Amino acid sequence: MNDTGAVFRRGRVFVQGAYAGMIEEVEDGYSFTYHSEYLKANGPAVSLTIPLREEPFFSETLFPFFDGLIPEGWLLSVVTRNWKLDPEDRFGLLLVSCEDSIGDVSVKNAGRESFDEDRESRIVTAIAGNQKNKEVPRK
């Protein structure tokens, strides 16, 4: 766990367009913390390996789920060449290439955008209401 509290880079994580939490590059690895309003709204988890909970998740390496969002093959080559990134900088790749990912989860560089937390909380609440209407009864 990070003793100094130093955070090097941050990404805002969105699930189905709703602000779900923050992933951070810290001195000893990486952390992910769900946003309190997202937890209250009981939105879907980012992944099965990162279930909803108040406590932060920590990892010495980039969480496998987030690493899996990063492009591979020729698209990775395009991203590293155009953004002049080291292919070994997995967190940097996550921040520049996963803003508009295929699927439910996207990651936006927290250092490059303005952020209206009140607006995002309203979106989370609206999405949570829609989720309740879509629930499928279990057998």
b/e map 62-89, b = 16+ CB within 10 Å:
bbeebeebbeeeeeeeebbeeeebeeee
| pTM (two decimals) | 0.77
Mean pLDDT, rounded, of the chain: 83
Q: Please write the tens of the pLDDT for every residue from 62-95.
A: 999 999 998 888 887 888 888 788 888 899 999 9
| DSSP code, position 137 | P
Closest CA to 18 of 36, 43, 47, 42: 43
